[in-house]
Structure 1
Amino acid sequence: MDNHKGCTTIAMVVIANCLSLAIAGEVRAQSAGSDTRLDTLQQQVNAQSARLDQLRDQLAAQERNVSELQRALDLERLASTRARGTGDGAGQGVAASDPAASATAMLAAAVAAQAAPGTQDDATGEGVAVDRAVAQGDRPPPQPVGRAPEQDLRPPEVAQIFDQPGVLTPSGTFVLEPSLQFGYSSSNRVALVGYTIIPAILIGLIDVRQVKTSTGTAALTGRMGIGNRFELEAKVPYVYSSSDTVSREIFTGTAVENVFTSSGKGLGDIEATARMQLNRGGPDKAFYVGWLRYKSRTGRDPFEVVTDCVTRCVANATGTGLPLELPTGSGFSSLQPGVTWLFPSDPVVFFGSLSYLHNFKRDGVSRTVLTGAPPEFPQTATEPIGEVEAGDIWGFNFGMGLALNEKASISIGYDASFIGKTQQNGADAPGAVRITLGTLLLGASYRFSDRHTLNVALGVGVTRDTPDMTLTARVPISL
């Protein structure tokens, strides 16, 4: 009996141990399975996070494409009003008849193609069919979808008639622009030195002169587009001018007219300009471009040339006399801020600008005067002038451009400047007056290729102080 009980006890202990081992194994199996499921869930979470990051990147890329396509649409609408044409460059597959609709269709197709998943394989198959159709000549090649078309790198096609262009140089493009300008002006000057005893009877001297001046300026201008809305420009001019003064000898009874000729040539005043587009314009919405121009005084100024006071000065009664050599610069550094606007309205483009030029004053100015010695032994004297500040200039202009075809365009405009009085030692200089300059301008532009354009502008003075005629030719070259 006791043996039976002992066997039973041993059997129960063995069964208990087996149950414990079985339960422990089950627990370990369940724990291992739980860890496996947790690892699987973690992997799924990581995969979903990676997918979300990928979708986020795709969304950002789509937003950038939409922004680029919208900008391309605005530029293409503007180009259509100026009749740029399709050109020969790559990426210019948009129909010239309706570029706005084509760009809109490209925008919608790009968004739909990138937003719909699982369409790349279908698009690939369709692309093979399209390639076959193109190879057989049944249909034109398709345009790229999902990215903005390459922008035209040509300078503005509107015929430039003012110094400041209205549209900036494309980003990353360098434009080299050689130009040549010829100007001619003539005026009559009458100086009365004496007094009148009764009206129409003068006791004294009457000095009558005819002054005819011709000026030629060759300039090399470089412009560089930085980003989508910024541009830098530098201009280096070379000036040649000639002046003929026709008058009769004073204090003599001769009826023979003499000619006093002087000329000058050399480097002019170097200029630097920065421009920035202030807004995003479009059809029936103006573009605004702000700019800041600095003009140096690298040219030979009027105070450096020798003034002839032997044959043309009468006790300073007729002014400062005539220079033996003409200056090539203004003699003053200046800073000129301004804003240019351009308003496309099919089929023309209206444009204009408003500016203010400030001349910096100079201290300790003097001039050199020829004092009557013979030409072989000239003698000069220095006359102090003191502080001189040239008058500031307010200017505005406006015009309109019309495209004749995809290569030729014409422009017409008016330019006006209001020049203040020159100050000397804090007061108005002797004989200083306000001057109004007005010029009527006609221009034409012809595009030979995507890189070369010829621009010609003719200016006609409408006030007495304005040059009678200015003729300017520019050849912008995109590099």
Structure 2
Amino acid sequence: MSKRMRHMVALALLAPCLTLLGTGRARAQDGGADTGQGDRLDSLQLRLDQQTVQLEDLRSQLQVQEHSVAELRQTLADERLAGARARGVVGTTQDAERPNATGASVASADNARSAQDPERRPQPVGRAPEQDLRPPEVAQIFEQPGVLTPPGKFVLEPSLQYGYSSSNRVALVGYTVIPAILIGLIDVRQVKTTTGTATMTARYGLSNRLELEARVPYVYTSAGTVSREIFTGSALDKVFNAHGEGIGDVEATVRYQLNRGGPDKAFYVGWLRYKSNTGKDPFEVVTDCVTRCVANATGTGLPLQLPTGSGFQSIQPGLTWLYPSDPVVFFGSFSYLHNFARHDVSRTVLTGAPEGYPQTATDPIGDVDAGDIWGFNVGMGLALNEKASISIGYDTSLVGKTQQNGADAPGAVRVTLGTLLLGASYRYSERYTLNVSLGVGVTRDTPDATLTARVPMTF
């Protein structure tokens, strides 16, 4: 057999073997694939079982969280109800879920009102509510308030003030021979003054930090002087009464909050006040020199009509501070009032001349410069609840000497005015508040008692 033939026979015998070998390998590969797929299915089933267990755990945690959220909602509802009752809002938690005649719940109506009222709108979860940058409100006892009007709001504040003061004066004219024996006359005077002031104040907030204010007072004052006149032999007391009424000195004030205060951080409010001389001043009233003037002694008398104004225009810058320290608020202010001098001032006096002659005469005084005033006050306020608060404070003013024609006026001295103040405030609603304060004079030159009632109304 040739070599070529042997190759052909070998190939013929080898072909079936190769075919059987390929078929076995294919079957082996198919069996291995089936085994790998089974392993993957087992792994997926195991992961599915694990995820099922995790989902059950998450479902249990979700139920616990839903229970906690329900408890928090109930607590929040109770707090809102307590706040609503403190503000005088009618309604209960039962009303919040009770359906009305149309089938809608009252809670839906309340949500609609909350959408219209930003103050009642709930804050989004996960975001802190906006911080209130306005100073805390306290019962007002001083003339200048420390809390500014919100932007776009208008406050109309009618107020009524009653004041009473009394003073005694004893003048000895003569000389002593021995102690306790006086040769001469004694002039004793008691002056009792009652003043009532009705004021209308309007404030408007231009921004979060700026407000304007205007005040128009109407003054009624009455004074009675009880004395035994000097250089007369009368042993009886005589009474001289006088009163005056009319518009007082109109004022205008601008206030600006200087910083962003907060808890345990002071608020500072700067202000500038202008006071006019629209009221009847002391130089316009007629002085009685017929029955009360003392010739060649004092040269002065008592007015027939009392003035309603100071007679001087003035400007007053100041700084008010408030320091909240829970549960109290400390506050106070510094100020300086400058009176503008008046020139060529004169007064009108009765002459006591017979009929047919002028009954009044003009008495020139010259240039008058009233003393400037340094003011300082300090106090503290305490909130009793969401509606009521009380305040206590002390106010003092240092009044300089009055000058006439460049020199100290006769009898001019420096005066210190000190007043102890107590105040209480009660808020009837978001719009109306009642504020009452009592001032008690602690120096002889200060009115004995001053009672003030204010009713600020917000629009």
* TM-score for both structures, normalised by structure 1: 0.68
Matches within 5 A, 1:2-401: 87=87, 143-145=122-124, 157-196=137-176, 200-315=180-295, 317-318=297-298, 320-373=300-353, 379-401=359-381
> Partner residue of 1:419?
399
Q: By how many angstroms is 1:206 displaced?
A: 2.0
Cα gap change, 1:326 to 1:85, in 2 (>3 Å): farther
State the match for 1:434 in structure 2.
414
C-alpha distance in 2 between matches for 1:460 and 1:84: 37
1-side partners of 2:376 and 2:317: how far apart?
12
Give the drift of 1:275.
0.3
Q: C-alpha distance in 2, partners of 1:173/1:316?
A: 60
Matched to 2:124, the amino acid is V
**Alignment of 1:477 onto 2:457:** yes
Q: 2: CA distance between counterparts of 1:259 and 1:322?
A: 12
Stretches (4+) displaced over 6 A: 83-86, 146-152, 374-378
What is the CA-CA distance between 1:258 and the residue it aligns to?
1.0
- In structure 2, how many angstroms separate the alpha carbons of the residues matched to 1:85 and 1:429? 61
Task: Tell me how many residue pairs correspond in the alignment.
Answer: 352
* Contact residue 193 and residue 317 of structure 1 kept, 8 A: no
Deviation string, structure 1 residues 229-260 (Cα, Å, up to 9, x no partner): 00100000000000000012333332211110
Contact residue 157 and residue 445 of structure 1 kept, 8 A: no
Aligned CA distance change for structure 1 residues 376 and 302 (closer, same or farther; 3 Å)? farther
Cα distance change of structure 1 residues 187 and 294 upon mapping to structure 2, 3 Å threshold: same
Q: 2:237 & 2:164 partners in 1: Cα distance?
A: 22
Distance 2:121 2:229 in 1: 80
Q: Is the 8 A contact 1:421 1:428 kept in 2?
A: yes
CA distance in 2 between partners of 1:284 and 1:85 (Å): 29
- Summarize the Cα distance change of 1:319–1:283 in structure 2 as closer, same or farther, 3 Å threshold: farther
Matches within 5 A, 1:446-465: 446-465=426-445
Q: Could you list the per-position Cα deviations for residues 292-319 of structure 1 after superposition, in whole angstroms to 9, with x for gaps in the alignment?
A: 0000000000000011112222125246
CA separation in 1, counterparts of 2:236 and 2:128? 73
What's the Cα RMSD here?
3.0
| Identity among equivalent pairs (%) | 78
8 A contact 1:84–1:407 mirrored in 2: no
Cα 1:403–1:193 shift into 2, 3 Å:
same
Shift of 1:429: 0.2
Q: Which runs of 5+ in 1 are unaligned?
A: 1-82, 90-130
Q: 1:317 to 1:84 in 2, by over 3 A?
A: farther
Contact 1:359 1:391 in 2 (8 A): yes
Distance in 2 between residues matched to 1:164 and 1:351, nearest whole Å: 11
Separation in 2, partners of 1:432, 1:291: 30
User: How far apart are 1:192 and its partner, in Å?
Assistant: 3.0
Question: How far apart are residue 371 of structure 1 and its match?
Answer: 1.4
Partner of 2:95: none
Assess, with a 3 A threshold, how the Cα gap between structure 1 residues 151 and 445 changes in structure 2: closer, same or farther. farther
Shift of 1:203: 4.2
Letter in 2 for 1:224: Y
Deviation of the 1:87 alpha carbon: 4.2
- Paired residue for 1:406, among 376, 381, 386? 386
Where in structure 2 are there 5+ consecutive unaligned residues? Answer: 1-82, 90-103, 115-119
Determine the structure 1 residue equivalent to 2:43. none
Conservation of the 8 A alpha-carbon contact between 2:345 and 2:365: yes
Q: What's the counterpart of residue 424 of structure 2?
A: 444
Name the aligned partner's letter for residue 441 of structure 1. Answer: L
